[in-house]
Homo-oligomer: A and B are copies of this chain.
């Protein structure tokens, strides 16, 4: 069999890189649980009619078919989910009678999209979603809550660069547009959403040509989209544009509350701003919308997005309004690994390599390893009874910091192979320094 080649868009990690990704996932999970979010998983597949309900992403869906299926219709059409929001809405409807509302859940799973691979965009990728879902109603303070939880999570990922959370509110935009007498607010929003890729003059042309606005209205739409603020001063800027609408008032009040309620989270690394150009493409958002840009990785677009959706899930009797944010774990981790050489301090979980005197006494080395493991110290026994120098190199190649020897008198000694220090040790008592117990995440440069 020839050496296999990677599949474009399906990234895989070496063990020492996977350790970094696992650390990210563990930190996210720990944070979400501290905030009372319960973990769930949904199946990887959904019926095709569910997946295509939103139209927008239909071209990216992977269809499934069993190899020996009689007809392509045999399975009534299932495909791989392309996000975790659509499956979650379905899960809530399916289990509504067994859940307590408001229902806080996190979900860290893979999703698949058949789009063209590029930096930060993959065909298979891991997402970490948090959502809070109410039955029939969900107070606005939960919009503040999910923002704070995700900022808390990102802040705990201390090897991440700084980041900027951009917030806006759909009611604000729609109210403003309605106040201007615009009918097709969705179409205008769709055009304005191009502002981060297309020059402003071109967007103005599109607003006239495609969305049917007159030039004056197009200019006022663009004026709204240029407003940015790190505090609630944006309210005055919007008011100065002279548009009046009840929904605009509601949106302004919500956005001002969100920015004020998160002001204490701002640090050198964490910025939060109201950015009135942010609209989010998906049509199910009805209020707050979020995006997040990572410093130095702006070209990747938003790494962490979401918003309020008041009518994503309904079973006829009840509607289930929700608010949530989704973090692109692969989107952040894979480029970060590639660009910075972020890695683990060793290739294996073992903090100790137990040496072997000869194959006949391997059971003695196993017993030492068992004693260490019984006190939660990860370790492994060397694979073959080579010369001690080779056994030390076995540890070195894996980055294992300690080697456990049995000396000629049957006494136990442990050697820190970084410093060369060797001391007597008792398998029932020796404990590594806590910073050595688990591998550390570090930059490759500092390792050299």
Residues of B within 8 A of A33 (CB): 349, 378
> Of B5, B7, B36, B66, which is within 8 A of A78 by CB?
B7
Is A380 in contact with chain B by the CB < 8 A criterion?
Answer: yes
A327 CB to nearest chain B CB (Å): 18
The CA-CA distance from A261 to B370 in the complex, in Å, is 14
Residues of B within 8 A of A424 (CB): none
The answer to whether A94 and B42 have CB atoms under 8 Å apart is no
Can you list 19 A-B contacts (CB < 8 A)? A1-B314, A6-B94, A7-B78, A12-B94, A14-B99, A15-B39, A15-B99, A18-B41, A34-B349, A37-B348, A44-B44, A59-B68, A60-B66, A60-B67, A62-B67, A63-B65, A64-B64, A100-B397, A134-B383
The answer to whether B373 and A34 have CB atoms under 8 Å apart is yes
Residues of B within 8 A of A94 (CB): 3-6, 12
Within 8 A of B (CB), among A76-123: 78-80, 90-91, 93-96, 98-100, 102, 104-105, 110, 112, 114
Residue-wise, chain A 28-41 has the 8 Å CB interface mask toward B (1 for contact) of: 00000111111111
The answer to whether B62 and A1 have CB atoms under 8 Å apart is no
A77 CB to nearest chain B CB (Å): 10
The answer to whether A380 and B36 have CB atoms under 8 Å apart is yes
Within 8 A of B (CB), among A249-263: 261
Residues of B within 8 A of A309 (CB): none
The answer to whether B61 and A62 have CB atoms under 8 Å apart is no
The CA-CA distance from A139 to B16 in the complex, in Å, is 25
The CA-CA distance from A261 to B381 in the complex, in Å, is 15
The CA-CA distance from A11 to B94 in the complex, in Å, is 13
The answer to whether B68 and A112 have CB atoms under 8 Å apart is no
Is A422 in contact with chain B by the CB < 8 A criterion?
Answer: no
Residues of B within 8 A of A34 (CB): 349, 373, 376-379
A353 CB to nearest chain B CB (Å): 8
Within 8 A of B (CB), among A369-419: 373, 376-380, 383-384, 397-398
Residues of B within 8 A of A98 (CB): 14
Given contacts A6-B94, A104-B380, could you give 8 more A-B pairs where the C-beta distance is less than 8 Å? Answer: A5-B94, A14-B99, A15-B39, A16-B38, A36-B350, A62-B64, A63-B64, A139-B384
The answer to whether B348 and A36 have CB atoms under 8 Å apart is yes
Counting chain B CB atoms within 10 Å of each CB, the highest count among A44, A99, A110 belongs to A44
The CA-CA distance from A11 to B347 in the complex, in Å, is 35
The CA-CA distance from A343 to B290 in the complex, in Å, is 35
The CA-CA distance from A90 to B12 in the complex, in Å, is 12
Is A325 in contact with chain B by the CB < 8 A criterion?
Answer: no
A177 CB to nearest chain B CB (Å): 28
The answer to whether A38 and B19 have CB atoms under 8 Å apart is yes
Within 8 A of B (CB), among A328-379: 347-350, 359, 362-363, 373, 376-379
The answer to whether B12 and A42 have CB atoms under 8 Å apart is yes
Residues of B within 8 A of A226 (CB): none
The CA-CA distance from A397 to B99 in the complex, in Å, is 10
A104 CB to nearest chain B CB (Å): 7
The answer to whether B67 and A79 have CB atoms under 8 Å apart is yes
Residues of B within 8 A of A66 (CB): 59-63, 114
